[in-house]
Amino acid sequence: MSDNTLLVEKILTALPQLQCKKCTYEDCLSYAQAVVSDDEDLNKCEPGGTHTENQLKNILKNNDPIKENKIKNYQIAEIRVEECIGCTICIKVCPVDAIIGARHQKHYILNDQCNGCELCISQCPVDCMEMQQYEDNKDWVWPGMQADTSKVYYDNKNIRLNKIKEAKKIARESTNKSHQIKTYIQDVISREKSKNNKIKEYE
Ligand code: SF4
Ligand code: SF4
Ligand code: SF4
């Protein structure tokens, strides 16, 4: 493993794993990579705050170890179910599959899976989602099990989406191929027809 890859991994461990895009990057890994490869500012992880900024500074100065960080009493998303129109947008937006529901059906939050990233809130077309204090007043803690599990949910979602993308690509290619074969056969038939017509002219 190269030194840069190791450094990216250390920095990633020091990030909250919310995959919330508040750093303006696609996810925590992309921000960690930008810190290492593009000298990105160390204060861009808003949920991590100054603790995370200092932690990243220490890692870059080779001052380990990474200490525990937490968001106290983190909030999770809530759906006013009676207003939900079942558009499924929030399911698509949620990075960790913490929302369940089907088209035109009511949607629900899986409280234990929601990491409080807030990505779904502004996307609901009928504004029926809001952030609420977690009923047991839990803290969001990282590095540790909670953040690791959230990252696993995120990685699994990406694997699933990539598989769907790949399956769609294969289906598209196969449709194109059968279209090409059909066109080829039609060409052959029409060439044969025109040959036969010519032969008939000389008979
Ligand atoms: S938790 Fe921090 S590093 Fe991760 S996506 Fe959100 S802002 Fe970016
Ligand atoms: S339910 Fe909303 S706030 Fe919770 S993890 Fe999913 S997108 Fe983020
Ligand atoms: S985005 Fe809003 S309306 Fe659409 S499914 Fe989610 S909660 Fe329901």
**Protein residue with its CA nearest to atom 3 in ligand 1:** 28
Residues 90 and 161 in one domain: yes
Crossing angle, helix 3-13 and helix 28-38, to 10 degrees? 130
pTM across the whole model: 0.85
The ligand placed nearest to the CA atom of residue 134 is 2
Residue 81 lies in a domain: yes
Q: DSSP letters along 39-67, please?
A: ---TT--TTTHHHHHHHHHHHHTT--PPP
The length of the chain in residues reads 203
User: Helix, strand or coil for residue 71?
Assistant: strand
Find the CATH number of the domain harbouring 46: 1.10.15.40
- Pick from 99, 131, 132 the residue to mutate for probing ligand 2's pocket: most ligand atoms within 8 Å of its CB: 99
Whether 188 is covered by a domain: the verdict is no
**Count of CA atoms in the C-beta half-sphere (13 A) of 79:** 28
Instruction: Examine the domain organization and report whether 14 and 102 are in the same domain.
Output: no
Number of domains in the chain: 2
Residue-number span of the structural domain to which 85 is assigned: 70-173
In this structure, the answer to whether residues 77 and 163 fall within a common structural domain is yes
Q: In this structure, are 127 and 164 located in the same domain?
A: yes
Question: Rounded to whole angstroms, how far apart are CA atoms 76 and 116?
Answer: 4
Question: How far apart are the C-alpha atoms of 80 and 130, rounded to whole Å?
Answer: 8
The alpha carbon of 177 and the centre of ligand 3 are apart by a number of angstroms equal to 39
What is the residue-level pLDDT of the chain in tens, covering all 203 positions?
678 999 999 999 999 999 999 999 999 999 999 999 999 999 999 999 999 999 999 999 988 788 899 999 999 999 999 999 999 999 999 999 999 999 999 999 999 999 999 999 999 999 999 999 887 779 999 999 999 999 999 999 999 999 999 999 888 888 877 788 888 888 888 888 888 887 777 76
Q: Give pLDDT, residue 118.
A: 98
Q: Based on the fold, state whether residues 77 and 122 are members of the same structural domain.
A: yes
